[in-house]
Amino acid sequence: MTKRPRHQLHRAEAAIRHRRPGPRTGTQRETAAGLSAVGEARAVERWTPASIPGQSGRLAIVTGANSGIGYMTARELARRGAHVVLACRSPERGQTALDRLRTEAPSARAELGRLDIGDLGSVRDFAGR
């Protein structure tokens, strides 16, 4: 692909966004492919868990922390120095997750909290602790 000055890219991008149905010009095709590749590369470069700034002095309460996204969130915040509360409805699954977190992030400051967000009584108890 030919390298084009930035202002030409902007113009070509605008042409793509406002185009009428019909075939794209060669420049539009090149620019669309180029912008898409650049966007993907930037998205990949932009963020990893290492991008999370220091969290020391912060308390993070993570719901759904015994699995999936919640667990990963809890672990990465703990790795960055937050004190993390794994807010889980099942004590057993919560304890398993806490054990795993302590293995994967040995310096973590983490604890377990009992919370079923589908039960307002449980939410009240959790908030009162």
Ligand X SMILES: NC(=O)c1ccc[n+]([C@@H]2O[C@H](COP(=O)([O-])OP(=O)(O)OC[C@H]3O[C@@H](n4cnc5c(N)ncnc54)[C@H](OP(=O)(O)O)[C@@H]3O)[C@@H](O)[C@H]2O)c1
Interaction site with ligand X (CB under 6 A) = 63-64, 66-70, 89-90, 93, 115-118
Closer residue to ligand X, CB minimum distance, 16 or 61: 61
- In angstroms and rounded to an integer, the radius of gyration of the C-alpha atoms of the chain is 23
Q: How many CA atoms lie within 13 A of 6 on its CB side?
A: 0
Give the containing element (helix H, strand E) for 55. Answer: none
CB 76 within 8 A of CB 102: no
Name the minimum Å distance from CB 43 to ligand X.
16
Q: Closer CB to ligand X, residue 52 or residue 61?
A: 61
- Rounded to a whole number of angstroms, the minimum distance from the CB of residue 46 to ligand X is 18
Closest CB 68 distance from ligand X, rounded Å:
2
Instruction: Please state the closest distance from residue 44 (CB atom) to ligand X, in A.
Output: 17
Residue closer to ligand X by CB (options 56, 90) is: 90
Closest to 66 measured CA to CA, from 34, 98, 110: 98
Taking the least distance from each CB to ligand X, the nearer of 31 and 79 is 79
Phi and psi at 48, nearest 5°, equal: -140, 170
